[in-house]
């Protein structure tokens, strides 16, 4: 019985050790993710003091994470000892964009030229909106441009309203969401002067998951919604069909 007892103790210690190791790895990965996101929001770079303060951690573990990320070229350190995103993140971004079928960008270019508005494909992961690709019209006028990887601000943006409208109705939802569900797309209006500046529609695909893709048309100036509604919806459906044919799962 003592042998069994010893075996049980060793197994228990092994299990506890494994749990601790998994927890440590999870914490390290979470902290590395937070670090990369923080650097993405700080293109001027951040020093070690500011990083430890904003990540609420100590220097020793943070240095280890930074060195690992530097080794993988995801982070770099400049001569002023500021940490910035490394060239490896660009490779990851290109690899992400390469997942999408080649027919999407030409479709965005056509609708941008047809409407005179910037056409953006936006990824919605929960409440986080991120530009995947953005195409401006081929004219000399000034246009809105949100670069790939741009994280959209909080608030009732047209894209966010369109994403919410693609889901079942919720108690107390905004009137803009209900209206967007009825018409098939959302309209973004400026707060000070309520004129349209954006319209957005979710890309319909056969396999819907918790994440969404949306097509958003943006402008620096007001425009007639009726003039762009049909091209918006037609292009959204065309992109959805292209995605379905490619077998891409969102």
Map out the domains of the chain as residue ranges. Answer: 2-90, 99-246
Question: How many Cβ atoms are within 10 Å of 199's Cβ, its own excluded?
Answer: 28
Amino acid 194: pLDDT: 52
SS3 187: strand
Strands (E), 31-104: 75-77, 83-85
At the second CATH level, the architecture of 2-90 is: Orthogonal Bundle (1.10)
Amino acid 101: pLDDT: 82
Amino acid 17: pLDDT: 46
Sequence-separated (6 or more) residues with CB below 8 Å from residue 153: none
- Per-10-residue mean pLDDT of the chain, 250 residues long, equals 39 44 64 90 92 92 94 94 92 82 91 95 90 88 82 88 93 93 91 71 82 91 92 96 80
Tokens, residue 22:
């998994």
In sequence order, the β-bridge partners of residue 122 are 131, 214
Amino acid 222: pLDDT: 84
Amino acid 11: pLDDT: 45
At the top level of CATH, the class of 99-246 is alpha beta
Sequence-separated (6 or more) residues with CB below 8 Å from residue 127: 154, 160
Q: Report CA-CA distances (Å) from 205 to 8, 151, 156, 213.
A: 53, 23, 24, 9
Question: How many Cβ atoms are within 10 Å of 141's Cβ, its own excluded?
Answer: 10
Q: Which of 197, 175, 199 is nearest to 185 (CA)?
A: 199
């Amino acid at each position: 019985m003592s042998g069994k007892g010893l075996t049980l103790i060793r197994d228990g210690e092994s299990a506890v050790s494994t749990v601790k190791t998994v927890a440590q790895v999870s914490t390290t990965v979470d902290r590395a993710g937070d670090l990369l996101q923080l650097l993405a929001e700080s293109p001027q770079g951040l020093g070690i003091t500011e990083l430890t303060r904003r990540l609420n951690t100590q220097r020793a573990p943070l240095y280890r994470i930074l060195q690992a990320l530097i080794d993988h070229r995801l982070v770099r350190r400049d001569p002023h000892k500021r940490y910035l995103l490394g060239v490896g993140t660009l490779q990851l971004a290109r690899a992400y964009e390469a997942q999408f079928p080649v027919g999407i960008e030409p479709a965005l270019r056509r609708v941008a030229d047809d409407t005179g508005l910037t056409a953006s494909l936006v990824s919605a992961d929960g409440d986080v909106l991120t530009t995947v690709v953005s195409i401006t019209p081929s004219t000399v006028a000034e246009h809105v441009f949100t670069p790939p990887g741009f994280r959209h601000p909080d608030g009732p943006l047209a894209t966010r309203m369109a994403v919410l409208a693609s889901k079942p109705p919720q108690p107390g939802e905004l009137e803009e969401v209900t209206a967007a569900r009825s018409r098939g797309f959302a309209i973004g209006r400026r707060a000070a002067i309520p004129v349209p500046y954006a319209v957005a529609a979710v890309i319909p695909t056969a396999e819907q998951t918790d994440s969404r893709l949306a097509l958003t048309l943006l402008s620096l100036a007001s425009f007639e919604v009726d003039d762009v509604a049909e091209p918006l919806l037609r292009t959204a459906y065309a992109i959805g069909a292209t995605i379905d044919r490619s077998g891409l799962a969102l």
